[in-house]
Amino acid sequence: MKIETMAVKEVSGDRINIDQIRADFPILGLRVSGKPLVYLDNAASSQMPQAVIDRIVRYQTQEHANIHRAVHYLSELATREFEAARIKVQHFLNAKESREIIFTRGTTEAINLVMHGYGRAFIGKGDEIILSGLEHHANIVPWQMLAQEKGAVLRVIPMNDAGELLIAEFEALFNERTKFLALSHVSNALGTINPVKQMVAYAHKHGVPVLLDGAQAAPHQALDMQDLDCDFYAFSGHKMCGPTGIGVLYGKAHLLEKMQPFMGGGDMILSVTFEKTTYNVIPSKFEAGTPPIMAAIALGTAIDYLNGIGLAKIEMYEQELLDYATGRVSAMPGVRIIGTARNKAAVLSFEIKGVHPHDVGTILNADGIAIRTGHHCAQPVMQRFHVPATARASFAFYNTKQEIDKLVDGIRKVQEMFS
């Protein structure tokens, strides 16, 4: 007992203060079905700390006007705060320049922007686009649409039974027709963290640009665009303690500059006549219309909040939660964990023998436990593992081991009911 206490104290400087963090999230005090909420659906959307909520209220009560337009006080203030948020994102990603940061509605729009702006201009008939078998539908369907339009071909990187991509097979897919690689950084369905730095470097050896879908990576680990060297990186605000309706596309400036606009409208132009429109410079070229100003500013505050805790600490704590959950759930008879990659984010997909995931989800919900059930918008992953759907618990830095214990108790209850 004594030794254990000492060990905890030794590392306490590197650890997050979980009680303090939980107090930052008002929603975690909620009761659902009469029970304290156990929110384990963070891969779908994370919760928002009071600091971000306060920032939204301050913006809407003291700062709101349209940006990049009028000369009045509020417009200038809103513009300044919006652009300050862009610089926060730049630093969060360690991007070279702030003009490489484009605000979108989310990851999906960011990927579609690249498909339209880059894909339609530079990918043609017979060209090949490489995707992985782990992708979310958002990183499959746009490329399929492009392939259909252009007569291009999709090639898929296979994975092993643990849910890890097969690197030799990946490398063997490259040939002179390969024009693009679209790859998830972290799998939303299985939690696999792909060796993206190595894969980007390999693609670049063949002159192939790379888009990384970072929706599941952004809130859980420190990101460095210059180190990763990917050409595009997409993620969403609402999975990292920010609001919905805001996402980011990072793109290397020289690529963004040669791309076509995605949408036409105000803000993305320099001059318009009925004969000809001259497009604005990046990033404005890709931000037609009034952007989600409040959401972008709130995302900036979410980044401040995450930085305040420290991404390294968050990553370490979430790994601890994952190890604990994996240990407890894998020890349960009749439960199979799907996705057992060596390098894994805090996502636990599982199935209970003889029980459909939706029944699992409904029964856990009656105990206040929120998990995701279904195909997780990754049907090819489900097909690969021969399951129609899985139950998925996904953890954030505000979750606790006690909550994982409740999940385990809930799984046991499901098994008893269906026995």
For another protein, give the closer residue by CB, 33 or 260.
33
- 418 touches another protein (CB under 8 A): yes
Among 130, 240, 294, 355, binds another protein (CB under 8 A): 355
Among 117-125, 141-149, 254-262, 381-389, the segment contacting another protein (CB under 8 A): 381-389
Asked if residues 286 and 191 have their Cβ atoms less than 8 Å apart, the reply is: no
- 185 touches another protein (CB under 8 A): no
Which residue among the candidates 32, 377, 387, 408 is catalytic per the annotation?
377
Among 7-15, 124-132, 153-161, 368-376, the segment contacting another protein (CB under 8 A): 368-376
Among 194, 340, 373, 399, binds another protein (CB under 8 A): 373
- 66 touches another protein (CB under 8 A): no
- Give least dist CB 329 to another protein, A: 20
- 409 touches another protein (CB under 8 A): no
Among 207, 353, 388, 402, binds another protein (CB under 8 A): 388
For another protein, give the closer residue by CB, 67 or 411.
411
Residue 230 is among the residues annotated as catalytic for this protein: no
12-51 positions binding another protein, by CB under 8 A: 33-34, 43-45
- Give least dist CB 71 to another protein, A: 41
Site string for another protein, 221-240 (x = CB under 8 A): ------------------x-
Among 57, 366, 401, 409, binds another protein (CB under 8 A): 366
- Give least dist CB 32 to another protein, A: 9
- Give least dist CB 392 to another protein, A: 10
For another protein, give the closer residue by CB, 17 or 383.
383
- Catalytic sites, residue numbers: 377
Q: Which residues bind another protein (CB under 8 A)?
A: 33-34, 43-45, 136, 188, 215-216, 239, 355-359, 362-363, 366, 372-377, 382, 388-389, 417-418
